[in-house]
A and B are shown apart, each in its own frame.
Chain A
């Protein structure tokens, strides 16, 4: 009798556990545990037939089917350019500040993080077409694109204008970056680019090479890095915004930033 009462009182606890978890895999394990306890209850209530069926179907089969079902939906697809410091390949691995933020977010949602590299101007298109969930890779808050959702800025940055002419040409200030950043860097080293506007992370990465032919001017205004979210994923956008503000409030973001940009 006592055993039965204990098991019965465990049921709502397990149900609440399964309902309150964010990670889908944990929810499924909670549900499996729930049916296991439930079958023990059936057994104690002298219904062994029902108990056997409950174990076979709910605890084993259904749990398994749910796990397969979340496998495909359980991915967070990120499209990004490769930017040193923010998101870059390091041997076989991908690291960087944005990678840390994104993998933390994916872990919280119980999703597997998949990163695909795309040139920066193709990132919004990929998001609009539903090929990816999140766009990253040093995207500036100033970007004037209403077709995708934007998060709040997570890191302040600055814009630098580089030009070979001594006098900055007002028309060329708008010339933004296109293509893969690694290609751009090679073109810079070959001296093919005459003028360009770059953000801080790209500028720092470039400044390792020789920038003496260029005059560098810092643009006025406050800029920061943001993430882009696919327009169809309003709920994901909401979750990501609140995740970023949680990260900022807990001071975790500062710690991560210091690790990559000390």
Chain B
């Protein structure tokens, strides 16, 4: 076991196809697309269910049901059905994003202080204004934590794309394994973990930026 692969400058050549920078880029590409697709599907659904209370059963159980779906199996099923390519990978990864986003959007909407929502309506906000100016900002902390856990999971799981012939950091794991090059496997594991932690930190910053300080448990302010 050694870090020679990771620290070999040749593997960091940004122009090299199969080099670490390009693998990171394609990996992040899968992650971003899967997060986008999954969120576009799950966020409105979760908000709607949380807002109306209709379909709560679905939202509550989506979390566990989603976790129980083996991503590798789904991916291979999709490849067998649709052939090799980006689509089956994106489907499998998006399915991974849906449960945490759906559940947290639902939980965020349910956790709202109904007195505040009542005040918003009573002051003359229209339903859309109540949603965008009061409910969403207040649900944001819960929502963001769901999105962050989805992002963590997708970054780690996107490695399986390599198992069906695609790119991404999984290449280092699969190819390294195939030729017993553990230094390459180690490099892949480290880069993925760093990427996951880095993305989470980035999202934590985004969260701090978009969530009102008034929603912190002990808000700091000019006092």
A binds B: no
Residues of A that sit less than 8 Å from B by CB: none
